């Protein structure tokens, strides 16, 4: 069993209010504290089959141009997701299963690029706009009962489990891989950075805050009771934990390394991109209406987040 990170963006950041302000309010946190950000998804090679956990941003998604007021920045392109996948030495037709953590485009962007794969999706998520037009979706009903302290699970392969983890979205899920006496928790956005797991804080992005709290409590209980390697999508801590086989110790956090940010030498195109789901607002497609002229209560048409979650592209 091998687990590999598919790395496609680097040198991003997530501000402390964004990653920790979901319950206490963003005003309780320091907007000038910026944690390191990146984008990567994961690949599981069981020896018998190749399984993906999420499939990155769609090809052509523009980079963002952050400024001092940006709550988050997903980073600079290393490559497209598909090029990063191929760089690991695999071909798209080798992938037999894709396990989707949730619908957002930085997790589902290249689902269409794997012709032989069955796409496993929490049944509560299959109606999402991002998943329409795909005829290889397998709605997961979580019929295998409890997995440790998680009430609902589905066994996907030997040592690979799909776990219901509602909150960030109503169909959110996590994947746990058992290998070499360790539990690798491959998650989408349970937390954006590991500091939030240590501090027991929710981000500001959720569809159901009470469910997100319940899920985070279960994750922390699991981590306390099982040797867990915690592999996130939005921080280089995710692949650093994986590569070091680092077991999370909630009472002894890994020392924080803050992001180094340079806001100079950035040029904008007039477009804006949602840092949550990847939706691109192009004035040319909206009767020339500039993003700045949209009403203050305007929401992303895809993920329903506010204007403050958008960056210049």
Tally the residues of the chain: 313
Please check whether residue 163 is in contact with residue 173, taking contact to mean a CB–CB distance below 8 angstroms: yes
- Structure-block tokens of residue 27: 């005003």
Residue 266 reports pLDDT greater than 80: no
- Structure-block tokens of residue 126: 């299959």
How much of the chain is helix, strand and coil, in % rounded to 5?
25, 30, 50
Question: What is the distance in angstroms between the CA of the first residue and the CA of the last residue of the chain?
Answer: 39
Coil vs helix vs strand at 161: strand
d(CA 169, CA 14): 19
Give the Cα-Cα-Cα angle 271, 302, 96 (nearest 5 degrees).
Answer: 105
Give CA separation, 55 vs 6, 80, 153, 231, in Å. Answer: 9, 11, 21, 15
Instruction: Write out pLDDT tens, residues 279-289.
Output: 999 988 998 99
Pairing of strands 95-99, 118-122: parallel
Kindly tell me the sign of the dihedral angle through the C-alpha atoms of 78, 191, 275, 256.
Answer: negative
d(CA 139, CA 123): 4
Average pLDDT in the 284-308 region? Answer: 92
d(CA 33, CA 43): 31
Give the Cα-Cα-Cα angle 305, 166, 200 (nearest 5 degrees).
Answer: 80
Number of neighbouring beta carbons within 10 Å of residue 157? 17
- pLDDT, position 54: 98
Residue 265 reports pLDDT greater than 70: no
Tokens 């990063």 -> residue = 84
Please check whether residue 39 is in contact with residue 233, taking contact to mean a CB–CB distance below 8 angstroms: yes
Average pLDDT in the 34-39 region? Answer: 98
pTM of the model: 0.91
**Helix ranges (DSSP H) in 147-255:** 194-199, 209-225, 236-244
- pLDDT, position 263: 82
What are 184's strand-pairing partners?
A: 177, 229
- The percentage of the chain sitting over the pLDDT mark of 70, rounded to a whole number, equals 99
- Structure-block tokens of residue 303: 């993920």
Residue 262 reports pLDDT greater than 70: yes
- pLDDT, position 294: 94
Instruction: Write out pLDDT tens, residues 127-181.
Output: 999 999 999 999 999 999 999 999 999 999 999 999 999 999 999 999 999 999 9
**What is the helix (H) or strand (E) element at residue 45, kind and residue range?**
strand 34-45
Residue 1 reports pLDDT greater than 90: yes
- Structure-block tokens of residue 44: 């599981």
What are 71's strand-pairing partners?
A: none
Residue 273 buriedness (CB in 10 A; 0-12 / 13-18 / 19+): buried
d(CA 178, CA 126): 27
Average pLDDT in the 49-66 region? Answer: 95
- Report all structural domains of the chain as residue ranges with CATH numbers, in order of start: 2-244 (3.60.15.10), 272-312 (2.20.28.10)
């Amino acid at each position: 069993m091998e687990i590999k990170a598919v790395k496609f963006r680097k040198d991003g950041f997530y501000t402390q209010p964004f990653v920790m302000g979901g319950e206490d309010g963003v005003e309780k946190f320091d907007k000038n504290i910026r944690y390191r950000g990146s984008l990567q998804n994961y690949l599981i090679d069981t020896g018998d089959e190749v399984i993906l956990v999420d499939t990155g941003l769609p090809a052509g998604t523009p980079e963002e141009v952050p400024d001092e007021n940006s709550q988050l920045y997903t980073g600079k392109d290393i490559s497209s997701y598909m090029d990063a996948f191929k760089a690991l030495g695999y071909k798209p037709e080798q992938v037999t299963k894709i396990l989707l953590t949730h619908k957002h485009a930085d997790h589902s962007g290249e689902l269409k690029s794997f012709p032989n794969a069955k796409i496993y999706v929490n049944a509560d998520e299959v109606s999402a706009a991002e998943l329409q037009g795909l005829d290889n979706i397998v709605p997961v009903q979580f019929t295998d009962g409890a997995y440790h302290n998680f009430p609902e699970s589905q066994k996907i392969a030997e040592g690979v489990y799909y776990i219901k983890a509602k909150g960030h979205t109503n169909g959110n899920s996590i994947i746990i891989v058992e290998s070499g006496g360790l539990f690798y928790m491959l998650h989408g956005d349970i937390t954006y950075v590991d500091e939030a797991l240590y501090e027991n804080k929710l981000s500001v992005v959720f569809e159901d805050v009470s469910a997100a709290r319940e899920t985070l409590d279960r994750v922390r209980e699991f981590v306390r009771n099982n040797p867990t390697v915690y592999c996130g999508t939005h921080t280089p801590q995710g692949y650093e934990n994986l590569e070091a086989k680092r077991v999370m110790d909630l009472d002894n956090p890994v020392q924080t390394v803050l992001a180094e940010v340079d806001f100079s030498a950035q040029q904008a195109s007039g477009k804006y991109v949602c840092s949550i789901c990847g939706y691109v607002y192009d004035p040319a497609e909206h009767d020339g209406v500039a993003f700045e002229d949209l009403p203050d209560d305007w929401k992303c048409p895809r993920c329903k987040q506010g204007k403050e979650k958008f960056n210049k592209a």
